């Protein structure tokens, strides 16, 4: 049986950050089941007669609809359609991919996963920051900032703080105050550089930079509504110095 379902990363927002493979399957799809965060300009690449359905999952919430999405994937594929399941960023990073792949496997439906640019690397590009800066950040940690029942996740705060790498926190805007309090209590200096980046890669991108001590108030005062990533660590220190270089290098 040919591959029927493509679990596809739509990247962080800017349509130019789609992979060629993602573009190809989006253009060929009979049915596209997409998350709310996927940019409309990317949906517009679909065939005019393609059936595009916003399955409305945002930020990993609404888990009640996950079984409906699994069911739609299976039903559309079994009816002979080419189905693209389009997710923001990379489908394998905080994307509930496992549940969807298991549903397809359970029905012997062939699938392919097409990776996308995750928000962390889009943010690093925008900020001009290497997440793994030599001698400063020897590891990168992708964390969720969102735990069960809207609370904080049960991270090992001390281990994360001691690791001394760059912390990249997805879905952490609403819980940033609690996250910061845990890290500081675990021994992180309150003046550790920290950045919140909203709508990374898009024209309305907004960066709030400060420290782990100052960020909760600044993020709250801004009241942003777009998807926001929080980055913490020594590597963020270089941001201002590098930004000037990036501006000069812009060609278009």
Ligand X SMILES: C[S@@+](CC[C@H](N)C(=O)[O-])C[C@H]1O[C@@H](n2cnc3c(N)ncnc32)[C@H](O)[C@@H]1O
> Which residues form the interface with ligand X (CB under 6 A)?
12-13, 37, 59-60, 87-90, 93-95, 118-119, 170-171, 197, 199-201, 227-229
Cβ 3 to ligand X shortest distance, Å: 21
Cβ 147 to ligand X shortest distance, Å: 14
**Which residue is nearest to ligand X, using beta carbons?**
89
Single out the catalytic residue among 14, 30, 35, 90: 35
Question: Whole-angstrom distance between the N-terminal and C-terminal Cα of the chain?
Answer: 45
Distance CA(10)–CA(42), nearest Å, equals 8
Cβ neighbours around 27 below 10 Å, total: 12
5 or 171: CB nearest ligand X: 171
30 or 117: CB nearest ligand X: 117
> 190-194, long-range: CB within 8 Å, 24+ apart, which pairs?
192/232, 192/233, 192/234, 193/232, 193/233, 193/234, 193/235, 193/236, 193/237, 193/239, 194/230, 194/231, 194/232, 194/236
Single out the catalytic residue among 14, 30, 39, 57: 57
User: Tokens 């069960």 — which residue?
Assistant: 148
- 150 catalytically annotated: no
Judge contact between 120 and 229, C-beta under 8 A: yes
- 90 catalytically annotated: no
116 or 193: CB nearest ligand X: 116
Cβ 78 to ligand X shortest distance, Å: 26
88 or 165: CB nearest ligand X: 88
Cβ 69 to ligand X shortest distance, Å: 13
For the annotated catalytic residues, the residue numbers are 35, 57
């Amino acid at each position: 049986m040919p591959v029927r379902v493509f679990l596809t990363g739509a990247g962080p927002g800017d349509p130019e950050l789609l992979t060629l493979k993602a573009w190809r399957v989006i253009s060929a799809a009979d049915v596209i089941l997409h998350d709310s965060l996927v940019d409309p300009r990317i949906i517009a690449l679909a065939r005019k007669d393609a059936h595009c359905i916003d399955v409305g999952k945002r930020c990993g919430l609404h888990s009640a609809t996950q079984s409906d999405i699994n069911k739609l994937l299976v039903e559309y594929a079994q009816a002979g359609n080419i189905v693209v399941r389009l997710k923001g960023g990379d489908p394998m990073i905080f994307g509930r991919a496992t549940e969807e792949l298991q549903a397809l496997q359970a029905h012997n439906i062939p699938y392919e996963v097409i990776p996308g640019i995750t928000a962390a690397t889009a943010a690093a590009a925008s900020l001009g920051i290497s997440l793994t800066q030599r001698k400063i950040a020897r590891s990168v940690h992708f964390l969720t900032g969102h735990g069960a029942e809207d609370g904080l996740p049960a991270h090992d705060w001390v281990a994360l703080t001691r690791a001394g790498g760059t912390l990249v926190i997805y879905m952490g805007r609403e819980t940033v105050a609690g996250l910061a309090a845990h890290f500081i209590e675990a021994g992180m200096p309150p003046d550790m550089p920290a950045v919140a980046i909203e709508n990374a890669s898009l024209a309305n991108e907004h960066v709030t930079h400060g420290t782990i001590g100052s960020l909760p108030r600044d993020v709250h005062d801004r009241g942003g509504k777009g998807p926001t990533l929080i980055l913490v660590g020594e590597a963020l220190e270089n941001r201002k110095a590098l930004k000037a270089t990036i501006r000069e290098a812009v060609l278009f």
